[in-house]
Every structure is written in structure tokens, then in C-alpha cells.
Amino acid sequence: MTRYFLELAYKGTHYSGFQSQQNANSIQAEVEKALAIIRREKIILTGSSRTDAGVHAHQNFFHFDTLDAISTWKAVETEDNLIYKMNAILPDDIVIKAIYPVAPEAHCRFDALSREYKYHIYNKKDAFKRERAFFFPYKLDVEKMQQAASIVKEYHDFTSFSKRNTQVKTFMCQIIQSKWLIEEEMLVYNVIANRFLRGMVRALTATMLQVGRNKISLDQFRAIIEAKDCTKASFAVPPHGLFLVEVKY
């Protein structure tokens, strides 16, 4: 048995999310379909980090097992050739970047040391940003938002920023970096952690936007974290501004 990591990037606009779902198309379904065409058998993928419907990724990973090494596959023979063939089959909004042979026990989800996300916001109408950033044409106190981002690093329990009905054993996350940046004339929330809860980055972003608009104070922001109650936080930002930037091993 040989295990491979598969690195990919995608634009999530037209997909129901990263992971396979019933009655909805996903990134996983498209990649499994491409592999099945080439291999002529179904190969089940395991994902490193789930992303919701409409969320994009500059980098994400799957792993998969195969009885025979890729070098023995008919009409493939090399990882580079498999990448070429998969990219020819896949839709234009999904790109295979690399395929790596790894140890049989390597796990793309559980072995990840950190994930990095960025949420992009712009405040002036721009036709070229509308599918990859959130148009938010309001005055913001970015200094207060930066202070709120620093407060995030003081905490580990993020129950307040997790969507309901999430099947996780713990709401504890180790935040490595949390800050606001200016990139390409956009306001960007950049956060790195060992793990994230479902909806967590969007909830943090939306709630800090309330701080930036002086709808809530920094003390109230802190109280929302400490309440451990998702009804206290805001989740009101769309998915298309969110990118999974990097998964580190």
C-alpha cells in the first residue's frame, strides 16, 4: 500500500464545499471523479481542512492510498504526468499543484501543524474583486479592530465562534497569529491556528467588523468570547471573501 498527499488550489464559488456531500457537488467529488477516470477505479480521498460552500483555497491537501505506486499506473508512470492528466480533466476552477509519496501512517488532517486563513474586504466598488472579497462600504476604526485581533490571541476556547450542530470533541484552538493587514487595497484579516471550528474565521471577522463600526466595544468583544455562546457573535459575512492560504506540516 502506497500513500500520497495531493496538493491543490481551487475557487469555491460553484461548489458546496471541500468535502463530499449528498446531492451537492464538491471539490472532493470532482477530484475523485478525475482520479477514477485515469485509474479506472474509485479512490477515496481524505481531506486536510474542510472549507464551506463558496470558500476558496490557495493550498489544501488530500491524501489517498493505492495498492500500486503511481509509477506502475498505465499511461501515467510519473507524479508529474498524473498531475497533467488530472488538470486536463478537472474544471478550470480546480488545480492540482503537486502529488507527494509519503509514509503509510502520514495523515493530511491530523499531521497538520497549522492552517492559515485570510478574509478579504474592500470598501470601493470593484468589478474584479466581487467574487474573492466582501464589499463593505462603511467607515471602520481599523485600530480598534487590530486591538480586537490581539485579544483573540489571549483565548483558547472559541465556542462563541463555532456554528451550531458541529460535531467536535473540543472547541479549544491555539491561535498563533491574529492581525489585520492591508493588501492590494483591501483590508484583510489574517489568522493562523493549529485548528479551526466550523464558521470560526467568518464569525471572528464579522464580530470584529462590529467593533470597527463601533457597534460593540472591545470589552463587549471580550465578553462575547468569554460567553461561550454562538448566539452572541455575528456570522454575517459571506463565504467568498475567505481563503485557506496554507496548511503547514
* Domains 2-102 and 114-248 in one fold: yes
The span from the CA of 47 to the CA of 20, in Å, is 10
Strand-strand pairing, 56-66 and 175-183: unpaired
The three-class DSSP label of residue 137 is coil
pLDDT-derived band at 165 (thresholds 50, 70, 90) equals confident
Question: DSSP characters for 98-113?
Answer: EEEEE-TT--TTTT--
User: Cell numbers of 213, please?
Assistant: 463600526
**CA–CA dist 211, 170 (Å, integer):** 27
- Residue of 55, 65, 3, 5 lying closest to 27 (CA atoms): 55
Task: Tell me how far apart the alpha carbons of residues 46 and 4 are, in angstroms, rounded to a whole number.
Answer: 11
Q: What residue segments make up the domains of the chain, in order of their start?
A: 2-102, 114-248
Q: What is the pLDDT of residue 46?
A: 96
Query: Does the pLDDT of residue 212 top 80, yes or no?
Result: yes
14-62 pLDDT, tens digit each: 999 999 888 889 999 999 999 999 998 999 999 998 899 999 999 999 9
CATH topology of domain 2-102: Alpha-Beta Plaits (3.30.70)
- Closest by CA to 157, choosing from 135, 175, 180, is 175
The tens digit of pLDDT for each residue in 59-76 reads 999 999 999 999 999 888
* Phi–psi pair at 87, nearest 5 degrees: -65, -30
Per-residue pLDDT, 74? 83
The CATH number, out of the four listed (3.30.70.660, 3.40.50.2300, 3.30.450.20, 3.20.20.70), of the domain defined by the range 114-248: 3.30.70.660
Q: Which residues are catalytic?
A: 52
**Average pLDDT score over the chain:** 96
For residue 118, what is the enclosing H or E element?
A: strand 114-122
- In the chain, the amino acid numbered 43 is I
Is the pLDDT assigned to residue 166 strictly greater than 90?
no
Q: How big is the chain by its Cα radius of gyration, in Å?
A: 20
Would you say residue 106 has pLDDT above 90?
yes
